[in-house]
Amino acid sequence: MTRVILFNKPMNVLSQFTDRGTEGSDRQTLSDFIKVPGVYPAGRLDRDSEGLMILTDNGRLQARISNPKFKQPKTYLAQVEGDATEAQLDQLRRGVDLNDGMTRPAQAVRIDDPGLWPRTPPVRFRKSVPDCWISLTITEGRNRQVRRMTAHVGLPCLRLVRWSVGDWTLDGLAPGQWRDA
């Protein structure tokens, strides 16, 4: 029987079970939260990003979730600096030309503040610069792709939370919590 775990990765947690960084490093990893033998992450999430990670003991499922050729949709909630315009969202919807090539078209909409948990450390706010939230669904998984896409259209990312992967969502999971799917 395949085991699938949904985990809400907090900010500053590495999306791996061991820290191969500098000696004496005390960075948190998945092993600080998940004590289940034989499961491995299906894909990665940057240390400075939060949200849904899927872990499984099934190698085929792991590949299907993480390999871009399967075009598994991943939805991110991004708090961005600036006041997102329809023109900027349209650029994201068409795909943007990054230094590693054109991205696939994304679904991009402006959303109300989703009322997420407080982030530690808090997002920096500047009184003179507005910010807003957008929902962005992509079917690729390039390195820091969502951050690079939003920056490319003039909306630097302040906070990034992966909300869903395929049909799996973060709904009901607090940061650092996990459950079987």
| Cβ pair 126, 83 in contact under 8 A | no
End-to-end CA distance of the chain: 12
Q: Is 180 a catalytic residue?
A: no
Residue 4's DSSP bridge partners are: 56
Active-site option among 19, 26, 32, 46: 46
In terms of C-beta density within 10 A (0-12 exposed, 13-18 middle, 19 or more buried), how is residue 39 classed? Answer: buried
What are the structure tokens assigned to 32, written together? 């600080």
CA distance 172 to 52: 11
Return the amino acid letter for 106: A
Q: Which residues are designated catalytic?
A: 46
